[in-house]
Structure 1
Amino acid sequence: MNRALVVIDVQESFRAHPLWETVSDPAIAQRVDRLVRLARGRGDTVVWVLHSEPGSHGVFDPALGHVRLMDELRREEGEPLLHKTSHNAFTTTNLQQLLAERGVRDLVVCGIRTEQCVETTARVASDLGYRVTFVSDATATHPLGHRDAPAGRSVADLLSDPRTLSAEEVIRRTEYALAGRFATIATVAELETAAASRA
């Protein structure tokens, strides 16, 4: 098939981060798994991407052991696993070459964080000429602090700041920014229904 599912940063690093308690969807891995099963059933390529920050001594440092798929997810033999060090999944990996070799022109993207690595990947993919479907309910994120807020605040301080955007608002704004410009917005259920109608 000329379609691929790109699963971005659905990794244990996020569960090891203090912000996980504020995540928009603690069951994100279950929604992603539904997309993975759907892609495999259609014969689509499934590409797994993990974010890595070697030497950072934080949750994205591979040396600490958190840079791995969330425990609920299973990668099958032959499915590419890429490690990136930039926000988007293209710049520091061979993703574009991999997709070109397989003749992929349509991308379905999901993962963590909605407005950061997933959105950035969708924008870059669109600029590279791919038709992008952004599955917003198979993404997750955290509340987003104001640009002028001090760094290193506690979760409580982040949540008590009236300038903080809720995770739900971040997702909604991301959908507005991408729709009709960089991607088609879809839900897991919509994609499942569409696949069933073609079966």
Structure 2
Amino acid sequence: MARSALLNIDTQCSFFQRDFWEDSNFADFSRNMNTLISGCSERQIPVVDIFHVDESGPFSIASGFVTPMPFLTHKPTTTFHKHVHNAFTDTGLDNWLRRQNIDHVIICGMRTEQCCETTARVASDLGYQVTFVSEATLTFAMTWQGVTLDSDALHHRTETVLTGRFATISTVAECLAGLTMQE
């Protein structure tokens, strides 16, 4: 039986300071994330908060914005700071998960197609079973070469490239239904 941990990636106040911030999907995201965190906590699944930290700007510790978004009220089992897109490089997360005998990670958080997707790919490459709870991730429209992908298109793109290769795509309800109580 798999032993699980929930990775809450970059759900931090730093994002409120970005010029691309928009509230359009935020209410659904925060509700879904709180349901996922509560469900994992009830099953005694560790919740790991991961914050992105830069040397300057709104993602620096000195900015005061590297804090959980106000809707989050849980007490994480542990917290890691990262400096790159994935949550594993130079953070100690892999060692911590292995010491806890965890072989299954559940991914939620900010920037679906960046930090969440990259963490899922690295986790899979490291041998973890990965569940990607897309409805508990949030992202924003992006434009390149005159083509804009809205957040729904980015979610779909991420699910398409992860499923069957790096992760199982899941709703909050599906994820929680598949989990059992951990000790």
Q: Structure 1 unaligned segments of length 5 or more: list them.
A: 149-160
AA of the residue aligned to 1:8: I
1:194, distance to aligned residue in structure 2 (A): 4.1
**What letter matches 1:139 in structure 2?**
T
Identity %: 43
1:73 alignment counterpart: 72
Match of 2:82?
84
TM-score, normalised to structure 2, is: 0.91
What is the 5 A alignment of 1:14-93?
14-21=15-22, 25-27=25-27, 28-54=29-55, 56=56, 58-76=57-75, 79-93=77-91
The Cα of 1:24 is off from its aligned counterpart by 5.7
The question of whether the paired residues in 1 share the 8 Å contact of 2:37 and 2:74 is answered with no
Contact 2:40–2:176 (CA under 8 A) maintained in structure 1: no
Equivalent AA in structure 2 for residue 16 of structure 1: Q
Q: CA deviation at 1:192?
A: 3.6
Work out whether residues 131 and 175 of structure 2, in 8 Å CA contact, stay in contact via their aligned partners in 1: no
Q: Secondary structure at the match of 2:49?
A: strand
Matches within 5 A, 1:1-199: 2-21=3-22, 25-27=25-27, 28-54=29-55, 56=56, 58-76=57-75, 79-146=77-144, 148=145, 161=146, 163-194=147-178
Deviations 1:124-157 (A, max 9, x none): 00000000000000001011110x4xxxxxxxxx
Change (3 A) 1:99 1:194: closer
Q: In structure 2, how many angstroms separate the alpha carbons of the residues matched to 1:24 and 1:186?
A: 22
Q: After TM superposition, give the deviation of residue 188 of structure 1 in Å.
A: 0.9
Q: Matches of 1:24 and 1:184 in 2, distance apart?
A: 26
Inter-partner Cα distance in structure 1 for 2:25 and 2:178: 24
CA drift of 1:190 comes to: 2.0
Please state which structure has a larger fraction of its residues in strand.
2
1:143–1:165: 8 Å Cα contact kept in structure 2?
yes
Q: 1:153 maps to which residue?
A: none
More deviation in 116-125 or 28-37? Answer: 28-37
1:155 counterpart residue number:
none
The size of the alignment, in residue pairs, is 178
User: CA offsets, 1:53-111, max 9 Å, x none?
Assistant: 02x2x22122111111101112426x101111010000020000100110000110001
Matched residues in 2 for 1:75 and 1:82: separation?
Answer: 15
Q: Deviations over 1:25-76 (max 9, x none)?
A: 212232211111111111111110000102x2x2212211111110111242
SS of residue paired to 2:143: coil
Q: Which runs of 5+ in 2 are unaligned?
A: none
Query: Structure 1 CA distance, aligned partners of 2:88 and 2:178?
Result: 28
